[in-house]
């Protein structure tokens, strides 16, 4: 496990969002509907885009560098989106978003068709997702951009404040990608000096509501069984991080999200999956071994050809040396000087 994926890492919250988008990108559709009123049916094509862009075009004289954003994707072949996950209320975030979106537009949406207005550059639909509660986070991030001709433009993007959504709103709007983050709203109450610290009964009731939401999403067809398992796993990972110093709370989440008894049908399903995985690995190893054998045979054949070529060159060189010796003998016989 890489350092940034460990439960104690500050990068975990970014990685949870990326894991959801990588494994089940359609889970972003309810968020797009919430932010932009855009609705996409299941099965709409989604293309995950590269998140690293070069900074060369900003300053070609500077050392090579790159800029890395969180989530970039193309939906339905026409709609570009850019999402960032941000834990702190960083006032400079809007400036970074301008830079990200400018590079994004240069890389993906600049039109090669030139008209009276010149080239066309379209910024993506962007948003900043804030997993942790912070009352100072505005509804939108704004930046007033003044161009050299005096014209102005207000760059404005929405913020997504996950903890401002109740569990009921999350369920109603099918914003399941918020669920791995909802335990963060309990973190302030982990301080035993607070007037009303978190109790085990409250945690149990809270986790129970989350599990009911996930199961209901499966029953309604908004989640597959595999996606349900993925969300539960991410929820557990979040709990490991949040309750890393509270073993009793961590064990309670573990108890509620991990079956204590594995039914025969579940065990059989898991074992079959493991067998299929082992067989797939075995086939891959056999294929790799066959490739290595083929490569080895090719190398042996190449070596034999090199040996034949080397022997042929040796014979040819010997013939040429013999011919040179014969020519020298003839020259000497007729008393013609021979150069060395």
User: Per residue in 296-312, pLDDT tens?
Assistant: 888 888 888 888 888 88
| Three-state DSSP state, 193 | coil
pLDDT at 207: 95
pLDDT at 265: 61
Two tokens, residue 41: 């049916």
Most confident region among 15-29, 66-80, 107-121 by mean pLDDT: 15-29
DSSP assignment letter at 123: P
pLDDT in tens, 159-192: 999 999 999 999 999 999 999 999 999 999 998 7
Task: Write the CA distances from 158 to 148, 180, 319, integer angstroms.
Answer: 27, 21, 84
Percent of the chain topping pLDDT 90: 50
Q: What's the pTM value of the predicted model, to 2 decimals?
A: 0.67
Per mean pLDDT, which range of 122-136, 251-265, 307-321 is the poorest? 251-265
List CB contacts of 191: < 8 A, sequence separation 6 or more.
Answer: 197
**Residue 194, pLDDT above cutoff 60:** yes
Q: Which residue has the higher pLDDT, 260 or 199?
A: 199
**Residue 125, pLDDT above cutoff 60:** yes
Q: Answer positive or negative: Cα dihedral of 229, 231, 237, 239.
A: negative
Mean pLDDT calculated for residue range 306-330: 82
pLDDT at 271: 72
Q: How confident is the model at residue 45 (pLDDT cuts 50, 70, 90)?
A: very high
CB 49 within 8 A of CB 108: yes
Which helix or strand (DSSP H or E) is residue 113 part of?
Answer: strand 111-115
List CB contacts of 98: < 8 A, sequence separation 6 or more.
Answer: 143, 145, 155
pLDDT in tens, 223-280: 999 999 999 999 999 999 999 999 999 999 999 998 655 556 655 666 777 788 778 8
pLDDT at 150: 93
Give which of 163, 158, 211, 218 is closest to 188, Cα–Cα.
163
- Every domain of the chain and the residues it spans: 9-56+64-164, 167-258
pLDDT at 9: 45
pLDDT at 319: 81
Mean pLDDT of the chain: 83
Q: Answer positive or negative: Cα dihedral of 197, 201, 206, 211.
A: positive
Alpha-carbon distance of 73 to 81, in angstroms, equals: 5
**Residue 2, pLDDT above cutoff 50:** no
pLDDT at 6: 43
- Which residue matches tokens 């993506």? 124
CB 126 within 8 A of CB 157: yes
């Amino acid at each position: 496990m890489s350092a940034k994926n460990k439960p104690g890492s500050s990068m975990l919250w970014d990685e949870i969002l990326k894991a959801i988008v990588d494994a089940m990108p359609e889970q972003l559709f309810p968020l797009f509907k919430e932010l932009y009123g855009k609705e996409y049916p299941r099965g709409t094509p989604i293309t995950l885009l590269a998140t690293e862009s070069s900074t060369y075009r900003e300053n070609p004289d500077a050392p090579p560098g790159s800029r890395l954003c969180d989530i970039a994707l193309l939906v339905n072949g026409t709609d570009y989106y850019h999402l960032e996950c941000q834990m702190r209320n960083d006032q400079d975030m809007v400036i970074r978003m301008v830079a990200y979106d400018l590079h994004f537009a240069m890389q993906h949406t600049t039109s090669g068709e030139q008209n009276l207005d010149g080239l066309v550059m379209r910024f993506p639909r962007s948003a900043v997702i804030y997993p942790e509660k912070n009352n100072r986070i505005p509804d939108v991030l704004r930046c007033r951009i003044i161009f050299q001709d005096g014209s102005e433009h207000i760059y404005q993007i929405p913020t997504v404040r996950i903890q401002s959504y109740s569990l009921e709103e999350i369920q109603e709007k099918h914003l399941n990608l918020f669920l791995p983050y909802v335990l963060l709203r309990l973190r302030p109450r982990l301080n035993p000096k607070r007037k009303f610290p978190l109790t085990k009964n409250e945690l149990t009731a809270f986790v129970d509501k989350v599990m009911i939401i996930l199961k209901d999403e499966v029953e309604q067809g908004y989640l597959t069984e595999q996606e349900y398992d993925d969300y539960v796993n991410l929820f557990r990972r979040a709990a490991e991080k949040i309750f890393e110093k509270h073993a009793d709370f961590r064990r309670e989440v573990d108890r509620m999200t991990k079956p204590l008894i594995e039914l025969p049908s579940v065990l059989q399903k898991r074992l079959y999956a493991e067998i299929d995985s082992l067989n797939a690995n075995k086939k891959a190893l056999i294929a790799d071994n066959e490739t290595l054998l083929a490569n080895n045979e090719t190398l042996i054949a190449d070596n034999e050809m090199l040996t034949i070529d080397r022997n042929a060159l040796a014979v040819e060189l010997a013939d040429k040396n013999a011919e040179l010796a014969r020519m020298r003998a003839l020259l000497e016989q007729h008393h013609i000087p021979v150069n060395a």
